[in-house]
Structure 1
Amino acid sequence: MNACNELIVMTRDDAAEAVKRYPVAVLPLGATEQHGHHLPIGVDIFLAEALSRRVCEQTGAILLPSVPFGYSWVWRDIPGTVSLQQHHVEAVIKDVAHSVSRYGTKLLVIINGHDANNTSMKYAARELEDELDMKVVYLFYPNMSGIVEKYCDSELWHGMIHACEFETSLMLAVKPEYVQMGKAVREYPDKPNLYGKSTISLGDLSRSGVYGDATLATKEKGELMLRLFVEEMSQLVDEAYRETIGN
């Protein structure tokens, strides 16, 4: 296992050497929004950072500073939420990519902790394909549905994760000091017929901010799932890098 190469603590000489040694950069992409009464507002940041750090330790990639804001429109009226417009998230990703490509980075890996950022990642990567000679890979909990089905005891709310057993378990593994399990609840709100076809949003449906059963979360489940995600992500990074240098 490699030590984590954190760009934020490097000198310019350290950065130049790290890029020369393994020209792969990992960008943690998070969000600042509510996650029920039992989890901190920074869940998506903490989880993206934890996954990214472990992937960098496994692969030798450079860990970029995290993007702490994402597209969080559905929670915009709840105190603590900070939301960027979707095209702004895309623009931030593209600016980061253009920046790191200028000094020799060959592969940018985006590790996302927030579902609503996925569209921005996809379209940013597509545009960058035509703009840069650098590959971009974007990852969001690969094989999540299978892992949740196997290792979690509760069902997801219509396939979505938010402050549920899944995220709470991961947080117990990553930042247990910020989890208040005494406030964890189970809530499966009704899904209106117009949900997904109108401006009805998650913020309109749940009283607690939880979608699923957070009471069943454990640190052991979180550690197991975290390890599986890191293994899969690390393999994908190595595969993408081999394809990049092979071109």
Structure 2
Amino acid sequence: MLNNILSTKKDEISRLTMPETADVPHYSLQHALAEKSGTIQVIAEVKKASPSKGLIRSPFHPVQIAKSYQSGGAAALSVLTDETYFQGSRDYLTDVKKEVGLPVLRKDFIIEEVQVEESSRIGADALLLIAAALEPEKLHYLYQSAVQRGLEVLVEFHSVRELEEVLRLFEPSLIGINNRDLDTFKTSLQVTHNLSGHVPPQSLIVSESGIHTPADIDYVQNEGAKAVLVGESLMRQENVEQALKKLKGA
């Protein structure tokens, strides 16, 4: 599936038109996730669909959802902008940025520098780089390009091998451990356990996917995660504000 997505993304990039720069405030994702409250922080995801599960939420009102997440105690937001496989839109991210006072992560398949510039223009505070989608040298180059534009970067890993290859080049400030197998789409929090011991102590760990209950949060927090990224389990709830509060144990 990942190869199909990347092939589609290359075609989309060849037809990319650059938007005007959005006039929005900016916030630090790392600062939001590093709050010393003693509780794990939540990046709540605005997500309409996925290639493995199809349509997740309908009707879908991204700004309304984002506001509910903010009221529910999210530290940050993640907005899907991939159109073909996730039914996202870069306009969703800009609209959310104009209405919600939280840092926003652009969730997409970033593989070329033009997408980094696009991310900056649409108002993203941070972007995602996926180790499985990029050679380590290319990932490092895009990371530096993002930082030079004032963007923060969450670098996502699925295996110890991916992590070690990137760490030979540099140490990302924000490291995402994705608990979802990209081939089977099954999730296991054991992935966070397997990778967390290999993460440099100064890097902040975000455990992604497979987070459904307060017990799941306790598990990954005990494994060293300072934050979790949660999408589908919240998106399927009618009241996402209450669902987020319940997940946080409130």
Taking structure 1 as the reference length, the TM-score comes to 0.29
By percentage of residues, which structure has more helix?
A: 1
Taking structure 2 as the reference length, the TM-score comes to 0.29
